[in-house]
Every structure is written in structure tokens, then in C-alpha cells.
Amino acid sequence: MVQNSKQRRVLTALALFSGIMGGFVTGAVAQTEKPVSTPSPHLMVFEQARQLGDVNTAIMSLHQLLIADKEKYASYTDTLALLYFDARNYAVCNTLCTLLLAKKPDKTVLMELKAASLRQLGQAVESADLYGQLFTKTKNRMVGVELMQLQLGLKRLNECLQTTDRVISTDPKEKEMQVTVPNADGQTVQCVPINALAYYVQALVYDSQKENGKTVLALEKALTAKPDFTMAQALQQKLRSPAKAGVVKKS
């Protein structure tokens, strides 16, 4: 539902060190110049590729960097996983994250990359389980948004309602945080507050459970948060139609 334009995190650190070292040799003062340390050519290629948005070259340069000195450049393994995700190579990203999480099981960036990769690979159950762990750990509302959509799709309706409640109640100072969702026409998109989306998802759950009264109330809350929320308007109109009214009982 949400067309994430996910935030990208690329960890880069270039440092140049130079110095002059003095010393005494056989009673006389002798100054010798310490050679200037130059960055790895692979790191320079990576930086240039990153600036140009050349993901494939950036991936190759990091592989070469890690082969040259895996311990020194170990921090770039997380960046490599992110680059594979950006390149839409979700299978490799998932595999790499699995290997890295075996050593760093609490690394939330890797957990999120793995969960997102699993979702892209169609492994919704595994993705939802990992997003659930991540949401409990971070209380990040965007993680909650991903989780509630997966739970809705998997028909884990009670879990979905619990997640929407947590999303709505988490970080009350950030109620205006926006997400991008499709319009009712299926051709365009619009930005809506996270709370509006959460109430809309609640309405979908209640509607599937034939709880008309709760559905109407959730839609009202969604449209209060975003009056021109077209998907909520469409569902509201559907509920008001004579055919719908004839088959759904009020709760």
C-alpha cells in the first residue's frame, strides 16, 4: 500500500593523515617526513560511484575493498547490504543480512533491510515476524506501517488491530508524519498522515469482520485526520450504498 521511498543510509568515512616526525640521530637533529597516507583506490572508486548514483560500481568497489582488508573496512559490510537492496537484488541482500545478523543480531538497520527484502521476495510471513520484532525493539512508526499492512494481507486481523493501535499511540508529537499511498483511482498517489492510514486499515479490518459500526467510526477518524483521503472516501461511499447497507448489520 505504501510506496516507500525508503530513507537511504550510506556509511562513508575518508580520512587523510600526514605528519612530520623529528628525531635525534647520533646527537644531531634530523627531520624526516612521514609518507602521506592515501585512501584505498577501491574506496575512492566507491565514493565516486556513490556520488554518481552508480550502484553496481559501488557494490563492486566495496567487494574489492573488503577483499583487500576485511577487518579494516568491516563497517562497510552494512553499506554493501544497503546497496544490494538499492539495486533490487533482494535475494543477495537477504543472504548478506542473515550472515551479518548472525554476528550482530541486534543491528536494527540489518533487521529492517532483511525484513524489507523478505517482503519483496514474497515471504510475507517471515517478513511480518521480523518486522514485529523490529517494531517492538524500535517503536518506529514507519516499521509499524509496514507491519500492519503485512498483517492485513496475511489475515492476521487481531494482530493488525493491535499494531494499528500501537502506531496511533506511538510518538504523539509526530502525528503529522506523512506516508504516500495510492489514490482510489489506482493511478495516482497522495500523502496522508500515518494516523489516517492506521485508522483506514482499522476500517478495512472491521469491514472484513462485518462490524459496520466500528468500520464507520474508524473511517470518520481517518477522514478527520485527512479529509481528502480518497481511499477512505471510497470505502465510506461503498458502505453507504443500498447494496452494502442491505447485507451488513450494525455492530
* Residue-wise pLDDT tens digits, 113-151: 999 999 999 999 999 999 999 999 999 999 999 999 999
Distance, in Å, from the CA atom of 7 to the CA atom of 13, rounded to the nearest integer, reads 19
Residue 2 main-chain phi, psi, to 5 deg: -80, 130
pLDDT at 197: 96
* Residue-wise pLDDT tens digits, 81-119: 999 999 999 999 999 999 999 999 999 999 999 999 999
pLDDT at 86: 95
Distance, in Å, from the CA atom of 246 to the CA atom of 114, rounded to the nearest integer, reads 45
How many DSSP H helices and E strands does the chain contain? 12, 4
Q: Which residues have a Cβ under 8 Å from the Cβ of 183 and sit 6 or more positions away?
A: 189, 190, 230, 231
- Nearest C-alpha neighbor of 136 from the set 128, 124, 144: 144
Distance, in Å, from the CA atom of 246 to the CA atom of 230, rounded to the nearest integer, reads 24
Q: Other CB atoms closer than 10 Å to residue 8's CB: what's the count?
A: 9
pLDDT at 88: 96
pLDDT at 215: 96
Average pLDDT, consecutive stretches of 10 residues, N- to C-terminus, the chain (251 residues): 44 29 34 58 88 92 91 92 96 97 95 98 98 95 96 97 93 73 93 95 96 96 96 93 55 45
Residues in the chain: 251
pLDDT at 15: 29
pLDDT at 23: 36
pLDDT at 20: 27
